[in-house]
Amino acid sequence: MATRKADHRPTRGRPPKLSRDVICDAALSMLAEQSAASLSLRDLGEFLGVDPTAVYRHFADKDDLLREVGDRALAPAIRGLVPTDDPGEDLARLCLALRRTLLRNPVALNLTSIGPTRHRNELRITEVMLDAFLRAGLSEDDAVIGYHVLIEYTLGSALLDAPLAAQGSARTQTYRQWRSDYAALAPADYPASVRVAKRLYPPSDQVFQVGLRTLIDGLTT
């Protein structure tokens, strides 16, 4: 059991200033205000009042740190989630919460470029989704496929929306610009695009709901 529990066992020297917990908390609070890419270990060190390289006593490298920070950012996605007797509804609620969480704090999207972390929150999300598919009556093989499909879709949606979500209220203006770009294309070359240009970029939540319902309905029946 417990592969690595002794992270800070009682030592005799002066108490350590830092720990994985303290460092992650600091990184998370910094990431609430700036983008994930712009977080440097030097800034983090300054924020903690510590030499920039002190972090290396607790994490192997920046990726290691971002993996753990990303998993922490996932916490709100499963907080307070209680299974009902409608597995399809459970899946929808989890995916909606996951997407909302990812858009609020895109650090967790970095996880996609690294692969599974097998940290706590990620594991719990996997468990809840697999359980729901199994309760819906799917075979083990189909439950696994359904799980991968829903994760791919939910992360893909959050990923494409993230840069816009960061724009806040300027978002509407950006959409207006993009629509007029499409409307200005040569109709001979891009007939369908020009035709629907005015309707491109509907509210992204609505798009996600349609895709999500389509997948859940199609996968669980």
Q: Where along the sequence are the contacts to a copy of itself (CB under 8 A)?
A: 1, 112-116, 118, 123, 126-127, 130-131, 134, 140-141, 143-145, 148-149, 151-157, 159-160, 162-164, 174, 178, 181-182, 185-186, 189-193, 195-196, 199-202, 204, 206-208, 210-211, 214-215, 217-219
Q: Is 11 near DNA (CB under 7 A)? A: yes
Q: How many CB atoms lie within 10 A of CB 201?
A: 17
In degrees and rounded to multiples of 5, residue 130 shows phi and psi of -65, -45
Q: Which is nearer to a copy of itself, 2 or 6 (CB)?
A: 2
Binding to DNA, residues 91-150 (CB under 7 A): none
Residue 193 interface partner, choices a copy of itself, DNA, none, CB cut-off 5-8 Å depending on type: a copy of itself
Length of the chain: 221
> Exposure of 150 by Cβ count < 10 A (0-12 exposed, 13-18 middle, 19+ buried)?
buried
Q: How many CB atoms lie within 10 A of CB 215?
A: 19
Binding to DNA, residues 46-85 (CB under 7 A): 50-54, 56-58, 61-63
Q: Which two tokens stand for residue 47?
A: 């924020």
Min dist. Cβ of residue 37 to DNA (A):
9
Residue 43 interface partner, choices a copy of itself, DNA, none, CB cut-off 5-8 Å depending on type: DNA
Residue 8 interface partner, choices DNA, a copy of itself, none, CB cut-off 5-8 Å depending on type: DNA
Q: Is 21 near DNA (CB under 7 A)? A: no
Binding site for DNA (CB under 7 A): 8, 11, 13, 16-18, 39-43, 45, 50-54, 56-58, 61-63
